[in-house]
Structure 1
C-alpha cells in the first residue's frame, strides 16, 4: 500500500509516518501544493496512492482546497469512485461545519487530534485498506498536537520535498497561448491561457511577445517584456488556475 502523509507539524508528521509505515510505504509532504504535486506524480508514474492522511490546517494551500483538488483531478483522469484514493482528514479543530464540508468534498473519514491509532486501524479496516489480522494487539497510541515524542527522530523517515528553490522547475511558452510548466518534482502541466486573456488580471498577456517572455525563478512564473507591466504568478495561483480550468 502507498501512503501519503500531508502534515506541516513535524512531530505529528513523524508520528503518523512511524505508525503507518507498518502497513505500507509512506511519503511525507508539508503543504497543500506538495500534496497535489505528489498525487499528480504518482498518477503519472502509474503508482497511485491508496491512502492520504491530510491535515486541514496547512500552508500554501489548506487541506480542504487540497482535498477538493485531488477529487477534481481524479475525475479528470477518469478514475472510478471505487478506485479513488482514500482520504482521512486530520486536524486539531473540532468544528462541525468543517467536518461537513470535508465530507461534502469527498473525504472518507475524519480524525481529530490527538489521534487514537486503534480507531485509525478500525477505519482503515472498514475502508478495505488493511485486514483485521494486521492489527497489533497492543495498547492504542496517541500523540497530542505539537507535543514532543522522545523516540521520534526526523532521520528515521524518508521525506518528499523540493530539491531546489520554490516549486517551478521550468516553463515554456507554446503557440496559441499554451504553457508547458514543469514542477520541481518533475510533473509537467500543460495549460491553455486563452480563456484567461479576457480577464483584468491576465488581459495584458494578449501581447504575444509578453506571453512568450515567460520564465521562472522557482517561486513565480514571470512574464517580463521591456516596456510592459511585469506579470508574476505564484505556484498556488497557478494550481488554482489549472484546477478551475480542468473542472470545466
Structure 2
C-alpha cells in the first residue's frame, strides 16, 4: 500500500468529522510572542486527545489559521513540526490535505501505566524548571560579576549561536543554562538547574529538531544573556520565563 492509499484508508475508517465540534472549542487564538510553539502545543494536544483521530483530516489551513489567530505561514511551520514528529502526513493535489497518521507516543514496549508515569514526571520537570531557572537568571543578574564571569557567559552564548549540528546545539544550550546558574554562586541553585537540564535533555531528545524553535530559542538566549550582563534581574527573570514557557508549550504538544 502506498502512502497515499494508506492515508485514504485511514480517512475512510475515521469518518470525515470525527471530533470536529469539540476541536473547534479546544483550538483557540494563541497568545504570546511566539505563536509557533503555541500552535504546536494546541494541535499536538488535540491529536493526542483524539479530537482529530488517526486517519482524520485536519481542517483547511485557512480555517485553522483564522481559528488560532495566526498567519498561514506560522500554521504551516507548526504543521511541519507535527509532520517531522510523525504525527501527520500532508498530501498534495485533489483530495489532499493534512492527515493524522499516528499519535505521538512513547515506545510501545512500555505499558500505559509506565507511559503515564513518564509523562507525569516530565510535566513535573517543566513545572520545576519554570520555578527554578527564572529565579536563577534573576539571581545571576543581581551578582557583582567579575570580568571573567561575564566572559564565561558571553562564550557560552556564542557557542549556542555557532552550533551547527543538532546534538552540538543541544549540548551548548544546556551549557548556557548551567553557566547562568553557576553565576549565582549558589550550590543548591546549580544542583537544581543541573537536574532540570538533565530531564529537559531527555525530553528534547524525544522530539525532532525544529529550526523555527531553535531560532526563537537563540533570540531568547540573547535577551537572557543581555539582561544578566546588564544586571537587570526583573528583565532576566521575564526573559527566562518566556523561554521556559515556549519550550514547555512545544514539548506538551509533541510528547505523549
Higher percent of residues as strand: 1
Higher percent of residues as helix: 2
TM normalised by structure 2 equals: 0.30
Greater RCO (CA < 8 Å, at least 6 residues apart): 2
